[in-house]
Amino acid sequence: MPSFDIVSEIDMQEMDNALNQVKKEITTRYDFKGSNASIELTDGNITVMGDSEARVNTITEILRAKMVKRKLDAKCLDYGDIENASGSNKRQQISIKEGVSTELAKKIVKLIKTEKLKVQAAIQGDQVRVTGKKRDDLQEVMSLMRGMDADRPLMFNNFRD
């Protein structure tokens, strides 16, 4: 019986490469000369430091641009508030969303059931397994998921025929 999994995973190696490109650009840009601008990745959280809110926002824009170039979806980032750090510096915490949350999984299952497709969807931890008798039904579900407005990027893997 054909099946596939709906997951939300981020290639952390590509994310690390994007962050390294941002660090390189910060050191070479003229408008960041002599500033305390930095970006770091620790345990699935990105910390952005800057002299002002404008610099922090500029760094996050550079990060989004580098992520797009590396084919990473910017929907996986959850931006925290810009807060005061030591001295006159500003800091922003950005968390990376991975895995399908239980609310999103329930929303996916409900959407599949309301479309009355001949497939079964089951929540399995941080992923949703979809099984059906025909490959065409599964491809219909995939196109439905691509059109769905989710708070994080959705991928399909483990397709079995």
**Backbone Cα Rg of the chain:** 20
Q: Is residue 142 within 8 Å of 156, Cβ to Cβ?
A: yes
Query: Average pLDDT of 129-156?
Result: 83
User: Is residue 104 predicted with pLDDT exceeding 90?
Assistant: no
Q: Report, at the CATH architecture level, how domain 3-8+99-160 is classified.
A: 2-Layer Sandwich (3.30)
- Reduced to 3 states, what is the DSSP secondary structure of residue 139? helix
CATH number of 12-96: 3.30.70.990
Claim: this prediction has a pTM higher than 0.85 = no
Q: Predicted confidence band at 59 (pLDDT cuts at 50, 70, 90)? A: very high
Continuous H helices in the chain: 12-28, 53-69, 102-114, 135-147
Domain segments of the chain: what residues? Answer: 3-8+99-160, 12-96
Q: Interior CA angle at 62 toward 155 and 51, to 5°? A: 130
- Does 21 score more than 90 pLDDT? yes
Rounded Cα distance between 105 and 6, Å, is: 9
Q: How confident is the model at residue 1 (pLDDT cuts 50, 70, 90)?
A: confident
